[in-house]
Structure 1
Amino acid sequence: MTGTTAGTAGASGASGTTGAASAGAASAGATWTERTLVRDSGPGGEGVRLSLRDWGGGGTGRSLLLLHGLAGHAGEWDGVARRLRADGHRVVALDQRGHGASERHPKDVSRAAYVADILAVLDHLGLTDTVLVGQSYGGHAALLTAAATAHRGHPPPTAHRGRPAATGHHRRLAGAVLVEAGPGGADPAVLAGVGDWLRAWPVPFPSRDAAVAHLGGGPVGEGWADGLEERDGGLWPRFDPEIMIASLAENAGRARWEEWAAIDVPVLAVLGQNGIIPAEEYDEMSRLLPGLRGACVPGTGHDLHLERPGVLYDLIDGFLSETPCAGVDFNT
């Protein structure tokens, strides 16, 4: 089952349908279409509704699926998506289950259900050789999806500069960009602190300005505020804090190094200078995945996709130019 609703990026608003974390004037009139997919099978199916912000594109470009972090929304990616779409890429941003316009109270919030959602979106839209771009919890979902689709037991073809070469057939994934995300296990105390923070939001916010100020101010506060909806005389989050907390539970103290080592597509890790991924975790990521590309964005934190969307776009653009498409073998 599908549905569509038109939207325009660059408009400021609290509903999230036309709200965007603006990244500048370039292509400010670019439009996207809201698509709805209802899953009825597989892990976490059971009629779960997924909302997609489809920017269109394609042709000679790449396919990219953008995944927001915990308590986020698809509109966080507008600043990056607009630029990627202008380059001719097929760009889609997903409101993950429990977030935004997607199913607000899914019964299954396991990591397997999030991965199944991503694969269902790729299949529904007919996207192949897709590059996943995820921030924080969305990056973690991208990591697990890359591991789930790896060709276990079948070594990748000879690598070019440490990256698997394309094999001439269509794959689900062609690469992954992880923004402030990694396979290291999360400290249960830190996760508990995230839950306390979400529960402590003074909702409803009486105004957008009040919401922006509480949520960090500047582009980060603006990006978070764009995910709010107006109802009952105020601005409310488009998620249930208890669903967010339940979604985090599986990660408490659990590392994903085995899954990380299984990945057989090119990966770019983008970290904020003041982010949450420690140097020792990145070092281990690089050791286990020798072809890993990495970048640290000075002066940014965990929400660097909101702080410096232009810089992140440049990094993604460079990664795409070096990541082989299907049917292209750099070894010949």
Structure 2
Amino acid sequence: MLPTARALAGRRVLVVDQRGHGGSTRRPDDLSREAFIEDVVQVVLGECTGPVDLVGQSMGAHTAMLVAAARPDLVRRLVLLECHEGGSADGEGEDSDALEAFFASWPVPFADRAAARQALGDGPLAAAWVADLEERPDGLHPRFGAAVVGAVARTMSTPRRAEWASVEAPTLVVYADGGMFTEERKRSFVAAGRRVRRADLAGASHDAHLDAFDQWARVLSTFLAEEVSP
């Protein structure tokens, strides 16, 4: 999300490594949705003097949605990229096992970034993974664990419709035309919210903040520049 943060020039932006990722605890004991919510709440309380504009993508968007539901006093506006209330992307089955298996299949450690690119590909998402690899004495490793990612994905298998329906903050929901969700899921999610606007990105994937960056930055910046109505 660093390019997104840089696109919001003139604003103070905090980019949080969620538990299990990056510079945060890699193998936390608690991977519940409530633990993720509390992490964000503590960052806001510790770093900010008032309500914030909360932005997230995918799992991060789901966390942001739940924070807005749990602590409406802390969230001024909400932006959700490729998000829904929980459950599988198509409403028919779980994909957490496949996600965990994919990350577990990476031939780590990688000898160098060239080897990582050869294994992971050269698309925008793969490039972000390669750039984020952590250097250790034996080579390059991802800054997350496959088992942790799978476990977190499983906590999102229960739909949180009541929480989403309770969110009071003005919300921008952004979807990609080549993203994870069917049109029916997109429409039902947007319809279930209170103060919701939808934006669609063309030629984009679930990781639209990477492969449709200019469109994403434009809709995000425009929304955050607007006055917040009571």
When normalised by structure 2's length, the TM-score is: 0.92
Question: In structure 1, which of residues 93, 103, 110 is the aligned counterpart of residue 32 of structure 2?
Answer: 110
8 A contact 2:171–2:196 mirrored in 1: yes
**Counterpart-to-counterpart distance in 2, 1:119 and 1:183:** 20
Flag the 1:198–1:219 CA change in 2: closer, same or farther, 3 A.
same
Shift of 1:290: 4.9
**Counterpart-to-counterpart distance in 2, 1:192 and 1:134:** 23
Please give the secondary structure, in 1, of the residue aligned with 2:168. coil
Percent identical residues: 36
Name the structure with the higher helix share: 2
Which is higher, the Rg of structure 1 or of structure 2? Answer: 1
**Counterpart-to-counterpart distance in 1, 2:194 and 2:41:** 26
Please say if 1:272 is aligned against 2:176.
yes
List gaps (5 residues or longer) in structure 1: 1-76, 151-170
- 1:261-313 deviation line (CA, Å, top 9, x unaligned): 00000111111111112211111122222531111211111111111222211
8 A contact 2:77–2:170 mirrored in 1: yes
After superposition, residues 1-332 of structure 1 pair within 5 angstroms as 77-84=1-8, 86=9, 88-150=10-72, 171-186=73-88, 188-252=93-157, 254-324=158-228, 329=230
When normalised by structure 1's length, the TM-score is: 0.65
> In the alignment, residue 181 of structure 1 is paired with which amino acid?
C
8 A contact 2:62–2:86 mirrored in 1: no
> In the alignment, residue 83 of structure 1 is paired with which amino acid?
A
Shift of 1:243: 1.7
> In the alignment, residue 83 of structure 2 is paired with which amino acid?
A
Shift of 1:218: 2.8
Please give the secondary structure, in 1, of the residue aligned with 2:14. strand
**Counterpart-to-counterpart distance in 1, 2:86 and 2:188:** 9
> In the alignment, residue 94 of structure 1 is paired with which amino acid?
V
List gaps (5 residues or longer) in structure 2: none
8 A contact 1:127–1:172 mirrored in 2: no
Name the structure with the higher strand share: 1
Q: C-alpha root-mean-square deviation of aligned residues, in Å?
A: 1.7
Aligned length: 227
**Counterpart-to-counterpart distance in 1, 2:49 and 2:107:** 40
8 A contact 1:212–1:224 mirrored in 2: no
- 1:194-248 deviation line (CA, Å, top 9, x unaligned): 1110111111112212323433413221111122101133210111221222212
